[in-house]
Structures are given as C-alpha cells and as structure tokens.
Amino acid sequence: MSTRRPRALITGASAGIGLSYAEHLARTGHDLVIVARRADRLAKLATRLESDHGIEVEAIAADLGSSEGVATIAARIETGERIDLLINNAGYAVRGKVAELDPDALEQMIRVNVLALSRLSHSAMKRMIADGRGSIINVSSGTALMQFPSNAGYGASKNFVMAFTRHMQAEAAGTELRIQLLMPGVVATDFHQIAGGDVANFPADWVMKADDLVVASLRALEMGEPVCIPSLPGIRDWEAYVEAEKTVAANVSRDHIAPRYH
C-alpha cells in the first residue's frame, strides 16, 4: 500500500493567505511546493515547515509577472512529481480610477492575476485529467461582485478569475477533478498596504483572519461546494445568483429586439 503524502503547490506562499495555506496543509500532512518571488523567505519557510511537521517542501523562487517565471512553474506542474492540489493564490491590486491608472502597473498586475493563473490552471488541468484526479483552488475576490471607483483594474482581473474558474468547473463535470472558486472579502494580511490602503480602515467585523479563510476553503473543497465565500451564510445564496444569471442569459440571443427599443 502506498504511503505517499498528498502534494500541494501554492503560489504566493511566503505571506498572507498563501502562507496560511502552507502552514495548514503542512500540519495536515501534505508535502508542499511553495512559490514566491523572494528566495530567502521561501528557504526559511521551507526549513521551518520541514522541521516542524516532518514533510518535504520544495521551494521555487519565481516571478509570476514574467513569462520565464510562469513557464518554470508550468513545467513543474506538467513534468514534475504529481501535484494533487494547486492553489492559485498569487495576486495583488493596482488601484486607481481608469483615467488615472498607470498603464504599465495595470499590465503587470494583469500578468500575475490573469495570465499566470490561466497558464497554471491549464497546466494543472491537463496533468490532472491525465492522472485521473486532482484539485484546484483559484483565488478571486469578493470585489468581483461589486463596482466602485478605483477598482476597475483589480476587480476586472478577479472577474476574469471568477469566469475562467466557472468554465473550468463546467469542463471538469463528470471527472474526479475538483475546482473551487474562492472569493475572499477583507482579510487581515499585508495585501491592503501593498495596494496603498490600510486594513485598519475597514470595520473590524468586516475583517477575517487568513487562517479562518483557509479552513473554510479547504472544508468547502471537501464538501464539494463549487464556490467558497467564507462568510456567506448559505450556498443557496450563490445558487440564487447563478439562477439570476440564467434568467438574463435566456434572452441574450433572440431573432428580434426587445419591445422597449421600438
């Protein structure tokens, strides 16, 4: 009987939500492949997790804003030892009104939030379909459901994650693949400082601990819920959202215009 431990690959693993995933999965007996830009942080984290939990940790320093960095991780997924769980967590926010955004900064964010995630999702689905099993968690954002000034770039990038992941779920139907769309709200990490804000600006009852978010995400994966919005009271609220979409979609393509346009 095989005693192989499950292996998870986590992007953005050196801080915030990614670090919480790494620590939780290490405690529960997963070997890890941890990915982030800073080699020094990764090396220290790998050493600590191996020592504390008796697991194997592979650390890969890669900039997912570069083609080379994405190609490195894609190759690891496709040709290395099998990955049982991919967590596409790497991402950040560039905020500002559309007319005032730095276009170069916006493009770089899209490279990480959109292009890297879609490429790694491709590599993982291809490998997992061949292996007959596997799980993917794609981290979107609750702001994908909202529209407000200065969030167009980031919110749209997370809208892409939401749509892309839901299409992945449709394609995985009938297989042993589990695909989760994770949509966090405000989480107590340094994400907000990096984006030029401050988590202290939010009401305390809006702010979730990263460890609690991770517990909810992994529990939702076990339960087979396609979407995890950790503080959403019931999955039926999401199902109602999907049903509202279907109502609109049913009339998207007709051979005549709506009467109000006459």
pLDDT tens for 227-261 read 999 999 999 999 999 999 999 999 999 999 999 99
Q: For the chain, how big is the Rg over CA atoms in Å?
A: 19
187, 213 in Cβ contact below 8 A?
Answer: yes
Beta-sheet pairing, 134-139 with 85-88: parallel
The mean pLDDT value for 214-227 works out to 97
Tell me the per-residue pLDDT of 20-44, one tens digit each, with 9 for 90 and over: 999 999 999 999 999 999 999 999 9
pLDDT band at residue 194, thresholds of 50, 70 and 90?
Answer: low
Beta bridge partners of residue 57, listed in sequence order: 32
In whole angstroms, what is the distance from residue 78 CA to residue 180 CA?
20
pLDDT band at residue 193, thresholds of 50, 70 and 90?
Answer: low
Tell me the per-residue pLDDT of 129-175, one tens digit each, with 9 for 90 and over: 999 999 999 999 999 999 999 999 999 999 999 999 999 999 999 99
Record the tokens describing residue 10, joined without a space.
Answer: 């986590």
Taking CA atoms, 227 is separated from 126, 148, 210, 237, 261, in Å, by 22, 23, 17, 11, 37
Average pLDDT score over the chain: 94
Tell me what percent of the chain is helix, strand and coil, each rounded to the nearest 5.
Answer: 55, 15, 30
What's the number of CA atoms in the CB half-sphere (13 Å) around residue 53? 21
Beta bridge partners of residue 138, listed in sequence order: 88, 181
Record the tokens describing residue 238, joined without a space.
Answer: 């999401």
Question: Tokens 């916006």 — which residue?
Answer: 106
Give whichever of 9-18, 181-190, 200-209 has the largest mean pLDDT. Answer: 9-18
149, 97 in Cβ contact below 8 A?
Answer: yes
Q: C-alpha angle with apex 51: 48 to 52, nearest 5 degrees?
A: 80
- Name the strand (E) or helix (H) holding 222: helix 210-223
DSSP secondary structure letter of residue 259: G
The pLDDT value recorded for residue 253 is 96
The yes-or-no verdict on residue 1 having pLDDT over 90 is no
pLDDT band at residue 201, thresholds of 50, 70 and 90?
Answer: confident
Considering the segment(s) 7-261 as one domain, its CATH architecture is 3-Layer(aba) Sandwich (3.40)
The pLDDT value recorded for residue 195 is 56
The mean pLDDT value for 196-225 works out to 88
The mean pLDDT value for 189-207 works out to 71
The count of residues in the chain is 262
Catalytic pick among 21, 154, 241, 261: 154
Q: What is the DSSP string of 100-159?
A: G--HHHHHHHHIIIIIIHHHHHHHHHHHHHHHT-EEEEEE--GGGG---TT-HHHHHHHH
In whole angstroms, what is the distance from residue 212 CA to residue 205 CA?
14
The pLDDT value recorded for residue 118 is 98
Q: In what order do the strands lie in the sheet with 31-36?
A: 57-61, 31-36, 7-11, 85-88, 134-139, 177-182, 227-228
**Residue 21: active-site member:** no
Tell me the per-residue pLDDT of 81-100, one tens digit each, with 9 for 90 and over: 999 999 999 999 999 999 99
86, 120 in Cβ contact below 8 A?
Answer: yes
Secondary structure of residue 65 in the 3-state scheme: coil
Domain ranges of the chain: 7-261
The mean pLDDT value for 205-217 works out to 93
Question: Tokens 């994400």 — which residue?
Answer: 191
